[in-house]
Structure 1
């Protein structure tokens, strides 16, 4: 997110400078470029989110929003990406990135903990944790727990709903068309 905000700041600074100080077609090209680039940067850096409530899971990806009642969720998994399987379809969870580096670090720490003297019958010291997991794996476990415990609720029934994010798609397409027209003229 920080990278996206910094990229937006840099693009805004350069784009507004080109609009205010540019000559000829430069202000129009800068405006078209900003109209194209700003929604794309927002879509891929700021927009992705996963919201888990008592009745449903809301997945907000770059170009669509998926609402999944807990009863429709078949499984949640994290291999190379985080995914939810629901209603015969697979949806990516862009907001829950899988880090293989974190997984390796957690596995090394678990191996160290298993070989430490505390695992040989001694009591663990303060600050020792029994289960060290990568962040994505822990998040997916929490979501699985929510799915299992809330699937039977009356409000958690229904079919998955997918809505395209036209608030991102429309300005991106408009900017792309305007940019192509400006480049061809």
Structure 2
């Protein structure tokens, strides 16, 4: 009976220590992977379409270029610019502007789903408009090695509007 207790106790101790070492090895592997992550730049080209949330504009369409620097496997900083046109109702002139935004992207689930926050300025360039507006844009998205799909809310202070926009983009490592 003593031998059976000793064997059970030894088996329990062995299994417990094996599990403990396994968890420590997994944690060490994750730390090593994070420390050895190859930081680098990505470039993406996107098409944007949006629905303004007020009654002054019908819809928006634009294109952008986004430069992204990966700080880690789950965090990146971004710089985005391009051109967006807000289409007006009736015979009023459309508003075209160039956004210039800096942002922070954090992957929150499976290294593919992310949240993004951007802030910057919008420079009006068409149809006699010459205002510059503060703009900010929180968003959520999905990205893999080449495709980036996101939805964002974008607010334009001096243009007296905001929009919900969809971005479809192709990106690659530099």
Shared fold (TM-score greater than 0.5)?
A: no
The structure number with the bigger radius of gyration is 2
In terms of fraction of residues, the more strand-rich structure is 2
In terms of fraction of residues, the more helix-rich structure is 1
Normalised by the length of structure 2, the TM-score is 0.29
